[in-house]
Structure 1
Amino acid sequence: MYSIIVAASAAFFFVTYFILRPVFNYFRDVKGFRKYPAINPIAGITNLGFMWEARKGFRSKTLYEMHKMHPVIRIGPNSLSYGRPQAIKDIYGHGSPCTKDLFYSALAGSHFHLADVLDKPEHARKRKVLSSAYALKNLEGWEHKVSDKTARFITGCDKHCTTPLIKGAPGPDPKDLTFDYRAWTNFFTLDAIADIGLSERLGFLDQGSDLVRGEKMNGEIHTIDSYRRCLHATARAQSQIVWAYDWYTLNEKITRILPTSFKSLWKLNEGWNDIVWHRAMQRLRRYQAGEKLDDFFQALMEDKNGHPNNLEWGEIVAEVSIMMNAGSDTTAIAMNNVMYWLLKTPAALAKLRAEIDSVLDEDEVVAPYDKVRHLPYLRACLDESMRITPPTTFGLPRRTPPGGHTIEGTFVPGETSVSMSAYVAHRDPTIFPEPEKFIPERWLQPDSKDLQVYFIAFSAGARGCIGRNISYLEQTVLLSSVIHRYEFALPEQSWTPTWKESMNCAPDSMPLKVWRRERMTVEDEKVGL
């Protein structure tokens, strides 16, 4: 009898809390959100609706199709997505009272890092610590490391070269698709950020794989077979369950034990934690041994005058983690995507190649940054690729202040989650005509500077990406170098990658045929390693 009462009570609580209460709040509609169309039938009642969209794999694409008709879409009981240009300034712009949403605190570890800290004064403190390391004036210090990684990329690319594609052929022989550009650009960015940030050589470009060592907190060193799989699995798992903020921790524990795909994702997440811990501990040991290195870790430990910052070790590890994550993944995606769009648009590729050839010597292997940094069509190609396929597509959530805030001319009550997807913003036809077409020339018109206000590939406002200078440096040098030296071909001209959206929107592998350009005939070129 007692067990029946307990079971009935539990069932009553479950039905009341998870079904009746959300339905009651939906119809009560305290904030007046029921007037907005929802992304799916249950999204206005429960966050399970948006979690389902995340599970499907490309929620921003669904939002884009809906935003063609609706300026505001309800994506959760307390969450709104915006689709008109004014929302960018209202939500993300300098002076906006919106703060980072609880989304970030739900995902934070024991210590906040620069990307997830909510408190504005705390964010300002962190940004001040790191600003000297990320400053534009440090590009000269980073360039030799980027050039080194470019040379190693080219060595790997040379090894995968095949004979030139026969003119008029419908496409390459499948056996000649020897170079996975997606994987190699990721090897590049992982090697680069480890060197720039921690003065460490991971060696992924040399070995042609991302086999890496990890370290548990007890000091045990072990081998992890794929850095990328660990990194991407973590984002995939988190992006599917985080939207019910209050229940994230419980949902994580549940999905760790259920016999579903989540279980393997969380196992790989443990590998990611070990990768980060090992990198941080190795660099700490070098610092303690007295090495003074020009990298981000040094900036975390000391200010530019050599005075200790006295940060807690947990905060330093958190900053190392986000640097290794955001500092590599988005740039690798951007590198892959711009090559894809250029190969899909031969006229743009030819125009870019002519611009690059005009400033580089015929036998120049690694493009010097000073020669290519101001090439207008090169920058236009990079920006246009990040417009049409932004590496970070999902709407970075912000929270309205307690007193509410006006967005797109309409008052939004306080403590509401608001966002705008870059995928949506970059496809507004009033700002970007023919939004589904790759048109670099749109960035070279007399009024093209006006477009930058609506270009949010690096977010916007005070919380914009602090690493954009590094990203442009890496993208510019690598793309210039490989376009100058090689020809590439997609599996077929109609081929498209499969994009999967987690926090970022990542393409699957992109196998290419690669061969040396015929104009480059000097056989004894040496790549200075």
Structure 2
Amino acid sequence: MVLTLTTFLLTLLSIPLLQKLYTLFYNAFLHPLRTFPGPPYVWTDWYKCYNDVYLNRNWTDVLKELHEKYGDVVRVGANELHFSNPSVYNDLYSPTHRWDKDGALYRVFNQDESSFGYLTYREAKARKDILAPLFSHRATCEMQGIVKKHLDRMCEALGKREESSDMLFALRSFSLDCITTYCFAKDVHASSAEDFKHPLVEAMDAAVPAIRVLQYFNPWRKLVFGLPPWLAKLTDPNAGARVELQDMLLEQVKEFVEDPKRMEQTSNPTIYHRLLDPSNGPVPSLKSLHDEAMSLFFGGAESSGNVSMLGTWYILQNPSIESRLREELREAWPDLEDMPRLEDLEKLPYLTAVIKESLRLSPSVPVPLPRVVPPQGATLSNHPIPGGTIVGMSLRFVHQSEEIFPDPQTFNPDRWLGPDASSLNKWLVAFSKGPTNCIGQNLAMCELYMAFAALFRRFELVLDGTRSEDLTYSEGFLPFFNPRHMRAFCRPVEA
């Protein structure tokens, strides 16, 4: 009897092991992607995790090496391909394609019922169509006063400081104030914090490295995000502000759902004016409303701050670029008390070129955005790709292509002003492309125009010992910069 029970238990335990061994054998010798070149052991599905988490290497650096060794198409996972030919980017993320997202990455953020978190094209598009009018160029122009208000607050704080300022946190604080007011009519006054270290800014900064790990251990994410608020604060010192934000947005959602007339009291239209309008379709669930709020908050609070900080660094490295930008701004903005409107700033050719070049050299979302090839399969880079394959491409392979952008590591705004400049616009993919591109790009561009204009018209900027190595970053979903960041003295100009 004992022998029989032991044998039975051993048999039960051996089944998962045999299944795993068969999966490894299938991935290595029978899988449809077995003929694509790639590194050893990629069929284990742990190759990326080993490089990303254990070796702490940026995945795009690894991808660059793999493509140099194996060519334009590389197998980077048991069922995943990565491409390096820039022309493939527009195929992968084409508006005509309606490929679903791969949940292994997108489920990590615990925003499953949002325009960002929905995996299917149909669900994501339906939600985006509702929100789109709020984020149109016209709507952004109409609400640019919100951006101007928070820009003035940031500039006032910068101008009062005798010591240098953390420019990354300053510009992120500005973006944070903008997105919370624009989307939720809530002002968190991030730019008023000492040295711009608002708890929410620090909490967002600390959250990026966690994403790098959680994407490989997806079952843990519900445990991590599902902790009671009091326990989350105990286990993570930076979680307090994030939990308070979640509670604030959830409370606002509940108030508007219970009494829609409360929306009449907000200082400006919010996302809830769109989502809770019955004429736009069924009212989303409480979870979906909260997921959308968190998605827009995190999507809008970091990227433009990163871009404007890096762009400022590049400008300060080249006195001729800085001088030319300042000259254009002084001509367009002669009276410091009367800042031009967004529509006028957008007409400035050199400022626009500076912003485009800053977007090109910024990591933005550096990691590939994975898509799932439909069941009928597809042809990419002249290769037939089986249905169900996960495919992706980092924007780094577009923005740093020597064929498209000669001398790609050099910050050169003039490349956007030459006779062939108009043909380059399709290769600027900082906001991605197609049906799943960044819904808030018009607001982000408004922030960039105003931030660059204000910094180089209202201040003399002097770096405080910042070196290029201080601007290195690690990749989560977003970049996580060296903790020193960029520091500069911001001395107000008189005229």
The structure 2 residue matched to 1:388, chosen from 361, 367, 372, is 361
Structure showing the higher helix proportion among its residues: 2
The structure 1 residue matched to 2:47, chosen from 41, 46, 49, is 49
The one-letter code matched in structure 2 to 1:122 is: E
1:473 aligns with 2:478: no
Q: Which moved more, 1:190-199 or 1:370-379?
A: 370-379
C-alpha change, 1:49 and 1:406, in structure 2 (3 Å) is: same
Residue equivalent to 1:505? 479
Deviation string 1:141-180 (CA, Å, 9 cap, x unpaired) is 321110000110111101124xxxxxxxxxxxxxx5x200
2:183 touches 2:270 (CA, 8 Å); kept in 1? yes
C-alpha change, 1:462 and 1:235, in structure 2 (3 Å) is: same
C-alpha change, 1:248 and 1:111, in structure 2 (3 Å) is: closer
1:516 aligns with 2:486: no
2:67 touches 2:73 (CA, 8 Å); kept in 1? yes
Query: What's the secondary structure of 2:82's corresponding residue?
Result: strand
Residue equivalent to 2:401? 428
Query: What's the secondary structure of 1:74's corresponding residue?
Result: strand
2:233 touches 2:240 (CA, 8 Å); kept in 1? no
The structure 1 residue matched to 2:418, chosen from 432, 437, 445, is 445
The one-letter code matched in structure 1 to 2:169 is: A
Segments of 5+ residues of structure 2 without an aligned counterpart are none
1:380 touches 1:444 (CA, 8 Å); kept in 2? yes
1:124 aligns with 2:147: no
C-alpha change, 1:49 and 1:390, in structure 2 (3 Å) is: same
Deviation string 1:106-155 (CA, Å, 9 cap, x unpaired) is 33647421012122222222112101111111123321110000110111
C-alpha change, 1:254 and 1:138, in structure 2 (3 Å) is: closer
Distance in 1, Cα, partners of 2:208 & 2:488: 30
**Runs of 4 or more consecutive aligned structure 1 residues displaced over 4 Å after TM superposition:** 1-11, 209-212, 250-257, 262-271, 286-289, 305-309
1:486 touches 1:516 (CA, 8 Å); kept in 2? yes
Distance in 1, Cα, partners of 2:488 & 2:306: 19
TM-score, normalised to structure 1, is: 0.82
1:327 touches 1:467 (CA, 8 Å); kept in 2? yes
* Residue 46 of structure 1, CA deviation: 2.1
Distance in 2, Cα, partners of 1:350 & 1:487: 11
C-alpha change, 1:188 and 1:105, in structure 2 (3 Å) is: closer
Residue equivalent to 2:137? 136
Equivalent positions of 1:84-483 (< 5 A) are 84-103=85-104, 106-107=107-108, 109=110, 111-161=112-162, 176=163, 178-208=164-194, 226-243=199-216, 248-250=218-220, 253=223, 268=238, 272-282=242-252, 284-285=254-255, 288=260, 290-292=262-264, 293=266, 294-303=268-277, 310-364=283-337, 366-483=339-456
Query: What's the secondary structure of 1:421's corresponding residue?
Result: coil
Query: What's the secondary structure of 2:218's corresponding residue?
Result: helix
Residue equivalent to 1:220? none
1:406 touches 1:412 (CA, 8 Å); kept in 2? yes
Residue equivalent to 2:18? 16
2:99 touches 2:120 (CA, 8 Å); kept in 1? no
Query: What's the secondary structure of 1:52's corresponding residue?
Result: helix
1:486 touches 1:514 (CA, 8 Å); kept in 2? no
* Residue 66 of structure 1, CA deviation: 3.1
The structure 1 residue matched to 2:458, chosen from 469, 485, 490, is 485
Residue equivalent to 2:58? 58
Distance in 2, Cα, partners of 1:307 & 1:431: 42
TM-score, normalised to structure 2, is: 0.87
1:300 touches 1:316 (CA, 8 Å); kept in 2? no
Percent of aligned positions that are identical: 19
Distance in 1, Cα, partners of 2:385 & 2:95: 18
The one-letter code matched in structure 1 to 2:262 is: G
Distance in 1, Cα, partners of 2:35 & 2:297: 41
C-alpha change, 1:16 and 1:232, in structure 2 (3 Å) is: farther
Residue equivalent to 1:526? none
C-alpha change, 1:82 and 1:76, in structure 2 (3 Å) is: same
The one-letter code matched in structure 2 to 1:83 is: S
Distance in 1, Cα, partners of 2:380 & 2:451: 40
Distance in 2, Cα, partners of 1:207 & 1:267: 18
Distance in 1, Cα, partners of 2:82 & 2:72: 8
